[in-house]
């Protein structure tokens, strides 16, 4: 009962003792130990083995609290600690006490975001946050609309949905029948969610036209214009360009002004997938990477990536007022009653293609309150500084080679070349051999639990590490550790 | 630092003091007070007023912890307490300590569900839970596939997606072009998500054919067969029937065996929207309401509704193995590397149309461990008992009238007829007058903060209350309170 003063029976009524024990366990094992640089990042077990390490099975009879606490302890033990200072594996990572507190509060209040009636505070928080984010994009007076989505993939689908509806409002009723063959342009290095989106939405992956990138991974606007003209020549109907604000692997920002010019010239909807790199809009130093985005029609921006908010926190924003509602509304009479006792324009749920919708705003709002604009800016600047530091270090350290000399975002892509492969002619066989290095080092990282970094091939380039700094509080020491640890784990390969 | 023993500096490093304060606040204000029958369910304020009650604004500078705690306290104050014993407004409600603990643990570990690599434990939990849920449906040997979705609306879209892909695998690449005009059948009283789904997925709302219901709100299978034949005659291609396991408003279960017969006869995919009522599969006493569902191709089942799991917890299940992956995969090489050090069939993310995906399984799994099958069964049986009790009471209490004499699910729909309107001829004007009663009582409930129940019109029936018992621990006293409170709030109308 530590620290909570209550009336008789109240603590027992809500099983407060169990919550107290869970809180202590989470604080100790998940938060303190999970973010401790001296603790292991994971206890890797093969799936078949892990099945036997924890009692997963569901039975007729329930277990008592002691056993449940042990199950929770073991769950934490075998989980990957994404808040660990050496976790660089995904576009999300790091730990923020305000973000976590915000998520916990949201859970404790367990409501859905569809109506002001059941989410009054969160509805107004959404309006506040969206306004501020639209201002950051540079939309005129911060006007427009927005909605939280369950991830950037869905946000990108919303871009396609609005683009299609704006041009062909009948699509809502008639579907794709009778429409010309719509096509969408995106760069070769853009995120795979576009592919999933056009498939799910009935457009077809064949009509997602991949535009060539320049050597740095940015969409080539000359190639874009050619592709639009070629598509028209083939009888297709160019609908939308998806520009990317920091590609998933190499972190390239597309040339937004050049793309906006082309979109205007050919009357295409301009959507920006800024799921990963949108956070730079918070930094006066780095926001020029996104110069021109204020011209876009819509944007996907995930604060759970470059703003360090806990998962999930993904926002779709558009400069067009009322289009979300017109496009997606179904006017359900049991939920969006028009004879309520408040201004029903505050019921935002009908803008969504979901019905019940998890409250994702509070953790972001609380972090924003805690840090202010300036706090976010400092942390994002820190991530950029550390990625520059790392790139410099890799450039100077024998055995490392950058895939791109200057990282644009905080993705730092590099090969580690073990001593055995150094100083040799770089034949196709040599490259194939090099491509086998990263998976082995990765396996060793996982088994040791010391570090986690992703790797992948890209086009003709064999497997290389993609180090992503999405942990905004990362340090120079962690960068140094990455280099020394990879050397340690890979020098014999 | 109450109750947590740590090494020097560790507690400060993670801002443990703030987390401690938040935990105490949540336990005291959200959990204990929020579920206390003697506390107010809400402090209603009009949106314009609420904007001034809480400092929503985001500024350059951050706030200190004391201010943040106060903001959290006020957020809780003005939130609707969905765990309050008198909250009956939505298909989710109630409070479960294991569910809440599970949600908190999930937040503290902040990971995404796409790969075994970053979600090893949760991946195996998903497999365990899906198997058990498929067994509950009655699929042979519990075989098939499944995926967590961000809500039942998306699960219903998955049903459409698989149905379309199974029949027309080229749709993935070619889109809807060249396909016949697909149509989908669903009952007039089915959930609006079907409407949103067919629009979003390029099929068109015109091709969602609404099948008439019988007097009790169940799909009429004779009308269904007629509608299929009529659609074929018009040159449409019948693709799928969506059957509903407890309709949103009146809680009707469609006749699954009769629908399955028709689906077999005409080779249609059978999807069951059991988002709300799927929980009865856990009850030996009530699962016969879903007799025949084992014949369905796919099902949407939301444990966050009739199983009391915190939001969001929504599962899509199908008897077809491998179809989810074939339909939705994009094989992103940066995430689903094939040269990993474990069996990559454990990476489930490519089955989804999302990329990052919130971990929704743990809270359900922990609740299941705590209660066992029998615990869920008891709680669900309790909700059914209490709804019968309420229906009986309403039948006997002057001034109340049931919309349907026997509730089938735990939805209890009724009108309250104030003394002024009793004993009169029930002319159209009388009904119109009656339809104005519920919104006023609702407004009074909200202002008083004593009770929350939804109302809506349905077809020709004017506004009536839809009392939903999704709080599985509800009591007879709460049922009595509903009746007396509505009388108290409405007798002068």
Q: Which two tokens stand for residue A218?
A: 């940015």
Task: Label the pairing between strands B452-458 and B182-187.
Answer: unpaired
Query: What value does the mean pLDDT take over residues A53-59?
Result: 97
Query: What value does the mean pLDDT take over residues A375-381?
Result: 98
Q: Which residues, including other chains, have CB under 8 Å from residue A230's CB and lie 6 or more apart?
A: none
Contact A36 B375 (CB under 8 A): no
Task: Label the pairing between strands A452-458 and A87-88.
Answer: parallel
Q: What is the DSSP string of B35-74?
A: T-TTS-S-----HHHHHHHS-----SS---HHHHHHHHHH
Rounded Cα distance between B348 and B166, Å, is: 20
Give the CATH architecture of domain A369-490.
Alpha-Beta Complex (3.90)
- Specify whether the CB–CB gap between B456 and B403 falls below 8 A: no
- Specify whether the CB–CB gap between A452 and A89 falls below 8 A: yes
Pick the residue from chain B with its C-alpha nearest to A308. B110
Give me the residue spans of the domains in chain A: 1-32+43-79, 112-358, 369-490
**Helix/strand/coil for B221:** helix
User: Residues 313..372 of B with a Cβ closer than 8 Å to A: which?
Assistant: 314, 328, 330-335, 337, 339-343, 346, 353-359, 362, 365-366, 368-372
Pick the residue from chain B with its C-alpha nearest to A50. B121
User: Which residues in A lie closer than 8 A to residue B451 (C-beta atoms)?
Assistant: none
Helix, strand, coil distribution of chain B in percent, nearest 5: 45, 15, 40
Query: What value does the mean pLDDT take over residues A186-214?
Result: 98
Strands, sheet with A182-187, edge to edge from the N-terminal-most edge strand: A145-149, A314-318, A298-301, A269-274, A237-244, A182-187, A208-211
Instruction: List Cα–Cα distances, B156 to A147, A415, B196, B217, B241, in angstroms.
Output: 21, 44, 10, 20, 11
Element (H, E) at A62: none
Q: Of A118, A192, A443, which is closest to B341 when you measure between CB atoms?
A: A443
Q: Which residues, including other chains, have CB under 8 Å from residue A385's CB and lie 6 or more apart?
A: none
Rounded Cα distance between A271 and A340, Å, is: 35
- Specify whether the CB–CB gap between A10 and B36 falls below 8 A: yes
Helix axis angle for A476-490 and A361-396, nearest 10°, is 60
User: Residues 365..384 of B with a Cβ closer than 8 Å to A: which?
Assistant: 365-366, 368-375
Calculate how close chain A gets to B52, using CA atoms only, in Å.
11
Q: Which residues, including other chains, have CB under 8 Å from residue A8's CB and lie 6 or more apart?
A: none
Task: Classify residue B321 as exposed, middle or buried by CB count within 10 Å of its CB (0-12, 13-18, 19+).
Answer: exposed
Instruction: List Cα–Cα distances, B219 to B185, B275, B413, B464, in angstroms.
Output: 10, 17, 18, 21
Contact B117 A446 (CB under 8 A): yes
Band (pLDDT 50/70/90 cuts) for residue A107 is very high
Element (H, E) at A178: none
Calculate how close chain B gets to A355, using CA atoms only, in Å.
6
Contact B202 A206 (CB under 8 A): no
Topology of domain B112-358, CATH: 3.40.640
Contact B119 A80 (CB under 8 A): yes
- A8 pLDDT more than 90: no
Rounded Cα distance between A34 and A20, Å, is: 19
**Phi, psi dihedrals of residue A245, rounded to the nearest 5°:** -105, 85
**Phi, psi dihedrals of residue B286, rounded to the nearest 5°:** -115, -5
Q: Of A15, A32, A78, which is closest to B121 when you measure between CB atoms?
A: A78
- Specify whether the CB–CB gap between B437 and B486 falls below 8 A: no
Q: Any chain A CB within 8 A of the CB of B49?
A: no
Q: Over the range A62-92, which residues count as b (16 or more CB within 10 Å of their CB) and which as e? A: bbebeebbebbeebbbbbbbbbbbbbbbbbb
- Specify whether the CB–CB gap between A454 and A446 falls below 8 A: no
Q: Any chain B CB within 8 A of the CB of A120?
A: yes
- Among A240, A235, A241, A242, which Cα is nearest to A181's? A235
- Specify whether the CB–CB gap between A182 and A206 falls below 8 A: no
Strands, sheet with A400-402, edge to edge from the N-terminal-most edge strand: A87-88, A452-458, A461-468, A411-416, A400-402
Calculate how close chain B gets to A427, using CA atoms only, in Å.
22
Rounded Cα distance between B446 and B440, Å, is: 10
Calculate how close chain B gets to A384, using CA atoms only, in Å.
20
Helix, strand, coil distribution of chain A in percent, nearest 5: 45, 15, 40
Query: What value does the mean pLDDT take over residues A214-220?
Result: 96
Q: Of A2, A107, A314, which is closest to B2 when you measure between CB atoms?
A: A2
Q: What is the pLDDT of residues A386-399, one digit of tens each?
A: 999 999 999 999 99
- Complex confidence, ipTM: 0.97
pLDDT of residue B405: 86
pLDDT of residue B2: 44
CB atoms within 10 A of CB A428: 9
Contact B339 A90 (CB under 8 A): no
User: Which residues in A lie closer than 8 A to residue B152 (C-beta atoms)?
Assistant: 355-356
pLDDT of residue A304: 98
Q: What is the pLDDT of residues A149-187, one digit of tens each?
A: 999 999 999 999 999 999 999 999 999 998 999 999 999
**Helix/strand/coil for B413:** strand
Pick the residue from chain A with its C-alpha nearest to B73. A105
- Specify whether the CB–CB gap between A119 and B82 falls below 8 A: no
User: Residues 426..465 of B with a Cβ closer than 8 Å to A: which?
Assistant: 439, 442-443, 446, 454-458, 463
Tell me how many residue pairs between chain A and chain B have CB atoms under 8 A apart. 505
- Residue showing tokens 């995930």: A302
Q: Of A45, A331, A454, which is closest to B334 when you measure between CB atoms?
A: A454
Contact B72 A456 (CB under 8 A): no
Q: Any chain A CB within 8 A of the CB of B154?
A: yes
Contact A328 B23 (CB under 8 A): no
Rounded Cα distance between B461 and B431, Å, is: 8
- Grouped pLDDT means (10 residues each) for chain B, 493 residues: 63 96 98 97 97 97 98 98 98 97 98 96 98 98 98 98 98 95 98 97 98 97 98 98 97 98 98 98 98 98 98 98 96 91 94 97 98 98 98 98 94 98 97 97 98 96 97 97 98 96
pLDDT of residue A370: 98
Q: Which two tokens stand for residue A35?
A: 């973010």
User: Residues 55..84 of B with a Cβ closer than 8 Å to A: which?
Assistant: 56-63, 67-68, 71-72, 75-76, 78-83
Q: Which two tokens stand for residue B472?
A: 């599985």
Q: Is the peptide bond before A312 cis (omega within 30 degrees of 0)?
A: yes
Contact A97 B24 (CB under 8 A): no
Contact A79 B330 (CB under 8 A): no
């Amino acid at each position: 009962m530590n620290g909570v003063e209550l009336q008789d029976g109240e603590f027992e009524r809500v099983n407060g003792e169990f919550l107290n024990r869970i809180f202590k366990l989470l604080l100790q094992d998940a938060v303190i130990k999970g973010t401790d640089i001296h603790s292991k990042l994971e206890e890797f077990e093969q799936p078949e083995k892990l099945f036997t390490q924890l009692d997963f099975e569901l039975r007729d009879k329930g277990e008592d609290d002691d056993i449940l606490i042990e199950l929770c302890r073991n769950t934490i033990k075998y989980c990957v600690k994404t808040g660990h200072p050496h976790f660089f594996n995904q576009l999300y990572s790091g730990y923020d006490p305000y973000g976590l507190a915000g998520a916990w509060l949201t859970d404790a209040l367990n409501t859905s975001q569809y109506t002001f009636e059941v989410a009054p505070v969160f509805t107004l928080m959404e309006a506040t946050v969206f306004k501020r984010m639209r201002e950051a994009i540079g939309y005129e007076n911060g006007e427009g609309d927005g909605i939280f989505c369950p991830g950037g993939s869905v946000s990108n689908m919303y871009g396609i949905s609005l683009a299609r509806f704006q041009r062909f409002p009948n699509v809502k009723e008639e579907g794709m029948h009778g429409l010309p063959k719509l096509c969408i342009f995106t760069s070769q290095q853009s995120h795979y969610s576009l592919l999933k989106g056009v498939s799910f939405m009935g457009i077809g992956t064949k009509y997602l036209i991949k535009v060539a990138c320049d050597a740095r991974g940015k969409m080539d606007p000359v190639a874009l214009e050619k592709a639009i003209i070629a598509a028209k020549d083939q009888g297709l109907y160019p609908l939308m360009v998806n520009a990317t604000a920091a590609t998933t692997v190499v972190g390239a920002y597309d040339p937004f002004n050049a793309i906006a010019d082309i979109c205007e010239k050919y009357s295409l909807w301009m959507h920006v997938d800024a799921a990963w790199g949108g956070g730079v809009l918070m930094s006066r130093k780095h926001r020029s990477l996104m110069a021109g985005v204020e011209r876009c029609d819509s944007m996907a921006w995930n604060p759970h990536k470059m703003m360090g908010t806990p998962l999930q926190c993904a926002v779709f924003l558009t400069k067009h007022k009322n289009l979300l509602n017109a496009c997606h509304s179904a006017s359900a009479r049991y939920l969006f009653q028009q004879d309520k006792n408040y201004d029903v324009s505050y019921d935002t749920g009908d803008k969504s293609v979901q019905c019940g919708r998890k409250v994702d705003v509070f953790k972001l709002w609380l972090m924003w309150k805690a840090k202010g604009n300036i706090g976010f800016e400092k942390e994002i600047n820190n991530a950029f500084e550390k990625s520059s530091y790392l790139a410099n270090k890799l450039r100077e350290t024998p055995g490392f080679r950058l895939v791109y000399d200057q990282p644009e975002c905080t993705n730092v892509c590099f090969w580690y070349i073990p001593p055995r492969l150094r100083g040799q002619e770089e034949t196709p066989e040599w490259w194939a051999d090099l491509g086998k290095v990263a998976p082995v080092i990765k396996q060793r990282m996982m088994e040791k639990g010391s570090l986690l970094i992703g790797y992948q091939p890209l086009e003709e380039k064999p497997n290389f590490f993609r180090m992503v700094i999405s942990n905004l509080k990362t340090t120079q020491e962690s960068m140094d550790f990455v280099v020394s640890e990879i050397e340690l784990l890979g020098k014999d390969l």
